[in-house]
Structure 1
Amino acid sequence: MEATKKSYPTDLTDSQWEVVKDLIPAAGTGGRKRTVDIRAVLNGIFYINAAGCAWRMLPHDFPVWQTVYHYFRHWRITNTWQEINAKLQQWYRVSEGREATPSAGCIDSQSTKIASRLASPEAVGIDGNKLVNGRKRHILVDTLGLLLMVVVSAANLDDRKGAVMLLEKINHRDHFPRLSTIWVDRGYRGQAFIMAILHTFYWCLQVVVPAVGQKGFVVQQKRWVVERTFAWFSRFRRLNREYELLPETSEAFFYVGMIHILLKRLA
């Protein structure tokens, strides 16, 4: 008699599945009927992100790794991960007594070493300030620390240029009509840059500066939420370093991580 499958810590609970199942795109028309268990596919993707293992090392009690990877890649290309993240984020904000979309946010970047020598060379560089050879993650979060948008670039990209790339994606998607104020650190300072953002995107950048005479690490007002978000993502081994060949794949795993966090909070 076949033993009952034991669950992994990353598996969706029944209540979490009830929250997310209607956000999964329906099977396309034509061709063979979908037979794969989509809940098991999601569990496989969450396992990969948390465990940090290669796709080919996915345990055999999940669907075959090629199938799991196919859905992960397809949903990356179709922006499904971003859309699911945005919807869950709105539900969570409302559950916390907030408006569905934020009026303020915070931008920061994180340089991370590259682990794959096969990564696209144009998306790899050296951060001269932190002496990191790899990539830089630029993220925008709301005041709860929830991920709004992420862009992954070469580590040698200036923070201000990274912020422009981030804001261009947000402006194009028009997901955040109430957004007006964005807090940043001194890496984004410069009157010309701040005014250019204001005139181009109509968003006000506010630079949070340390107190006079401050030494060592001190939690900065307004900006601490984005530092906490990076700490949340550090729990996912797939995000500890840059293992992906394409920056877009890394971005998708950030949304996967945020979706996993939100599902635990909502259910």
Structure 2
Amino acid sequence: MSVEYKKKYPTDVTDSEWEIVLQFIPKPKSGKGKSGRPASDLRNVFNGIRYVNKTGCQWRMLPNDFGPWSTIYGYYNKWSKLKIWKTLMDELRKMVRKRQGRKPDPSAGSVDSQSVKSSIQGESIGIDGGKLVKGRKRHILVDTLGLILSVIVTPANEGDRNGLKNLLTDYFSNGISRLRKIWVDGGYSGSALKEWVRKLKKTHQIDLEVSEKEGKGFNVVKKRWVVERTFAWIYNFRRNSKDYERKTDNSEAMIQISMISILLNRLS
């Protein structure tokens, strides 16, 4: 039986979206109070998290309609530690790809990074000397549709080459082996990285291709423009306008939640 719910905010999930999400979040325990919450309460929790992600408001500033802010944050933090956001993002991405007649896992993708200022004195903060940004760096691997396959957040002084290694290590940790082609910019060149990728060929046949901008002024970079567009997508969620999180795991979770919203919109 579907849960009766009255939509209150533009960020609230629709009934059809909630039916999809409910398949992948931890099922509520039986009982009342601390022993578990009914699905209707979990929907409020999920909506509260989406509200923070889209509007960028502080947790303590959450409207009371969603319930106590501490409860909403508690679920967000718990689901982040359990990698629920990553799992949900991965499953929704596969559903979107299947709907478009593609295989669940891609054979090609693009990698890039983005340095953003940090608004708090959290852990893992650095300075990107090239862009003169003090904060953190977002490394993302996307498929040819621009859908995120993996996201890693590091201090801003972390090199792009190390970011690529971490992305591929994270992505392949799930036993996926279909990815073959990755488009990158000139920042991912170098003999050390080529040697690392070469060693991967024992298990994963990866071909790195550098795709640079041609000419002066604004030009769409062949193949790699999709990853730039993905950064623009997640930047539209105000919680991602800076890095507001104390821990990099939560920074990654906020990006995953943004991508989840994009994927749910496509599916519904």
Which TM-score applies when normalising by structure 2?
A: 0.91
* Partner residue, 1:224: 225
Counterparts of 1:1-267 in structure 2, within 5 Å, are: 7-27=8-28, 32-35=35-38, 37-117=41-121, 119-120=122-123, 123-174=124-175, 176-200=176-200, 201-211=204-214, 214-267=215-268
Q: Aligned AA for 2:207?
A: C
Q: Which runs of 5+ in 2 are unaligned?
A: none
Shift of 1:177: 2.5
CA–CA distance in structure 2, aligned partners of residues 161 and 85 of structure 1: 24
Q: Secondary structure at the match of 2:23?
A: helix
Deviates most, 184-193 or 218-227? 184-193
Q: CA deviation at 1:173?
A: 2.2
In the TM superposition, residue 110 of structure 1 has moved relative to its aligned partner by: 0.1
**Secondary structure of the equivalent of 1:126?**
strand
What is the aligned-residue RMSD (CA, Å)? 1.7
Matched letter for residue 25 of structure 2: I
- Structure 2 residue matching 1:8: 3-state secondary structure: coil
Q: Which runs of 4+ in 1 moved over 4 A?
A: 28-31
Unpaired stretches in structure 1, ≥5 consecutive residues: none
Q: How far does the alpha carbon of each residue in 1:63-91 deviate from its partner, in whole angstroms, 9 at most, with x for none? A: 21111111111111111111111110000
TM superposition shift of 1:165: 1.4
Q: Percent identity?
A: 48
- For the residues of structure 2 that align with 1:5 and 1:216, how far apart are their CA atoms? 49
The one-letter amino acid paired with 1:139 is I
- TM-score in terms of structure 1 length: 0.92
Is residue 194–residue 204 contact of structure 1 (8 Å, CA) maintained in 2?
no
Shift of 1:25: 1.3
Cα distance between partner residues in 2 of 1:136 and 1:258:
18
How far apart in 1 are the matches of 2:42 and 2:244? Answer: 25
What whole-Å deviation, never above 9, does each CA across 1:175-231 have from its counterpart, x for those lacking one?
x321111110011012441232132354221111233xx112311011000000000
Say if 2:213 and 2:220, in contact at 8 Å, map to a contact too. Answer: no
Instruction: Give the aligned residue type for 1:106.
Output: S
Q: Residue type of the partner of 1:198? A: R
TM-superposed deviation, 1:6: 5.7
Aligned-residue offset at 1:29: 7.5
1: CA distance between counterparts of 2:116 and 2:171? 23
* Whole-angstrom distance in 2 between the partners of 1:34 and 1:139: 34
Q: How many residues align?
A: 258
Shift of 1:5: 6.1
Q: Is the 8 A contact 2:11 2:47 kept in 1?
A: yes
